[in-house]
């Protein structure tokens, strides 16, 4: 029996054309600000602040002076860049490990208080960080851990959003896989690392990108607990370039542009897993 024809079907060629045009427009909207900032790295910083960032520039006035200054006389910029890079790498790895452990327990094991614990995680997602900031700051000072990197990383290893996402993803993993591993004598940690984690690469990639973006751009908490200039992260360091007495706009503009590179690299490395991971995490459970 033949299928009924759709009424007034949209030609495939027209659909592809509209779809492609829409994606091109979105790409242009996203890339224009980045391109304008890139052009701004070749301009005098004071001119950029006075006239704004735009493509209407005098080509003769463009120069590589800002790049020369960045690589020869940028002060602590590359120290801040390295601090942010190492802290982001450590916190992303720790967050993925700890949060996936917690989510794995919620998804795969039946224990007393499991639902209550998961509801607590969901409620924690609704609490703004600003409400927890002051008690955390007081506790850090009481413990004498201020101006250390451990307090930048440790409080956020069990991230509520990441736990929720991993839990939804793990619910789609068949429990028969776990039982087969136990029959073969694999330990519980072995099941997680050798069986479950390898098939969870899309979820891991999606959360690596999301957490990497958040941590790399994190400003408020490191600003509260870090006090030594050589320990500053990149967002804090760039902010110190603006003072009531002198403003280094050239380094601020080119430094902000170079700060985009790690996030772009992170996305390019994991982009093939990103959409699959976000879709799977949203649909499962």
pLDDT at 74: 80
Q: Mind listing the pLDDT tens digit for each residue in 215-236?
A: 999 999 999 999 999 999 999 9
Q: How far apart are CA 112 and CA 93, in angstroms?
A: 29
Cα separation, 276 vs 148, whole angstroms: 37
The 3 state secondary structure assigned to 161-181 is: HHHHHHHHHHCCCCHHHHHHH
CB 91 within 8 A of CB 211: yes
Tokens found for residue 13: 């060629």
Instruction: Quote the pLDDT of residue 178.
Output: 86
What pLDDT is attached to residue 281? 47
**The pLDDT of residue 4:** 53
Tokens read off for 56: 């209407």
Residue 136: CB atoms within 10 A of its CB come to 15
The predicted pLDDT at position 63 comes to: 85
Selection from 112, 228, 121, 129 nearest residue 165 by Cα? 121
The angle subtended at Cα 105 by Cα 104 and Cα 106, nearest 5°, is: 95
- DSSP alpha helix (H) spans, the chain: 12-40, 45-51, 65-72, 77-108, 114-125, 129-143, 150-153, 160-170, 175-183, 188-190, 201-216, 220-225, 234-239, 249-258, 261-283
Q: Note whether 122 and 114 are within 8 A (CB).
A: no
Among residues 156, 124, 162, the alpha carbon closest in space to that of 221 is found at 156
- Backbone dihedral angles phi then psi of residue 247, each to the nearest 5 degrees: -125, 125
At residue 269, the pLDDT reads 80
Domains and CATH numbers, the chain: 12-69 (no CATH), 76-283 (1.10.3720.10)
Q: What is the pLDDT of residue 7?
A: 52
Distance CA 84, CA 51 (A): 31
Q: Would you state the structure tokens that stand for residue 174, as one six-digit string?
A: 């068949």
Are 158 and 98 in contact by the 8 Å Cβ rule? The answer is yes
Residue with tokens 């801040």: 80
> Rounded to whole angstroms, how far apart are CA atoms 136 and 228?
19
pTM: 0.82
Name residues of the chain where pLDDT drops below 70.
Answer: 1-10, 244-246, 274-285
């Amino acid at each position: 029996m033949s299928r009924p024809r759709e009424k007034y079907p949209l030609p495939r060629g027209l659909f592809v054309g509209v779809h492609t045009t829409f994606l091109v427009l979105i790409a242009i909207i996203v890339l224009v600000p980045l391109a304008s900032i890139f052009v701004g790295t070749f301009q005098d910083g004071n001119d950029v602040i006075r006239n704004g960032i735009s493509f209407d520039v005098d080509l003769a006035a463009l120069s590589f002076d800002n790049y020369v200054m960045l690589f020869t006389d940028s002060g602590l910029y590359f120290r801040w860049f390295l601090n942010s890079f190492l802290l982001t790498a450590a916190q992303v790895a720790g967050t993925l490990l700890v949060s996936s452990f917690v989510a794995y327990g919620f998804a795969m094991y039946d224990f007393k208080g499991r639902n209550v614990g998961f509801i607590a995680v969901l409620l924690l997602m609704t609490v703004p960080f600003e409400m927890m900031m002051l008690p955390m700051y007081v506790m850090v000072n009481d413990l004498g851990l201020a101006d250390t990197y451990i307090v930048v990383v440790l409080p956020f290893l069990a991230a509520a959003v990441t736990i929720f996402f991993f839990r939804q993803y793990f619910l789609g993993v068949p429990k028969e896989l776990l039982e087969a591993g136990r029959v073969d004598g694999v330990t519980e940690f072995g099941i997680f690392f050798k069986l479950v984690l390898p098939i969870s690469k899309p979820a891991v990639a999606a959360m690596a990108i999301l957490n990497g973006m958040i941590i790399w751009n994190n400003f408020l908490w490191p600003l509260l607990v870090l006090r030594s200039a050589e320990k500053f992260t990149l967002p804090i360091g760039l902010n110190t370039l603006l003072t009531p007495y002198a403003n280094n706009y050239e380094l601020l503009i080119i430094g902000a542009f170079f700060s985009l590179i790690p996030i772009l690299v992170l996305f390019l490395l994991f982009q093939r897993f990103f959409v699959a991971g976000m879709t799977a995490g949203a649909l499962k459970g």
